[in-house]
Amino acid sequence: MPKIFSKPPSSAFFFLFTLLFSINLPSVKSNGFSNVLSPRKLGLKRQKLSHLHFYFHDILSGRNPTAIRVASAAMTNKSKTSFGAVEMADEPLTEAPDRNSKLVGKAQGIYASAAQDEVGFLMVMNLAFMEGKYNGSSLSLLGRNTVLSTVREMPIVGGSGLFRFSRGYAQAKTHTFDPKTGNAVVEYNVYVFHY
């Protein structure tokens, strides 16, 4: 019989040995609440990186504004940044800066003035697409938008349809802004990983 140990094993060895073999290792079976799945089981193939380019039209004036104030604080009108203002939005997304160019989707959600020292919005938007192969799919944007910065970057935190399991970022750059009306056209470049 071969000799495994030159000395008798210590009690620390037996403790570690017992601990390692008494741990319940995760199984591939269901425990009733969660399962470990292969992405292929959901029909997910190879991940790809897509670039989307469009223009966001924020229209605050006129008979049909695309964003309206739904809440504000007592101090909002006294604040140089409109701190506390909350806007509900249903903004057109177009192929070109012209409002009458081809509609590719809508940005639907809220933006709120969340900074006291600079104009900085909390953006919570669904970018709902209605054109081409992405028709019916959406991306979820959640992030900080310091609108006076030349280029702003905000995270894409998920999506639906062809954008299930997506992640990435959006870069926003003001194309035009009218200080009298508050209307703006913002160029977006969105980069997302998805299946």
The confidence score (pLDDT) of residue 26 equals 45
C-alpha of 183 from chain center: 24
The confidence score (pLDDT) of residue 42 equals 84
Here the tokens at position 146 are 């310091």
Place of tokens 């470990």: 36
The confidence score (pLDDT) of residue 155 equals 98
The confidence score (pLDDT) of residue 13 equals 53
∠ CA 127-132-138 to the nearest 5 degrees? Answer: 20
Here the tokens at position 71 are 């809440």
pTM to 2 decimal places: 0.80
The confidence score (pLDDT) of residue 27 equals 44
Residues of the chain with pLDDT under 70: 1-31
3-state secondary structure of 55: strand
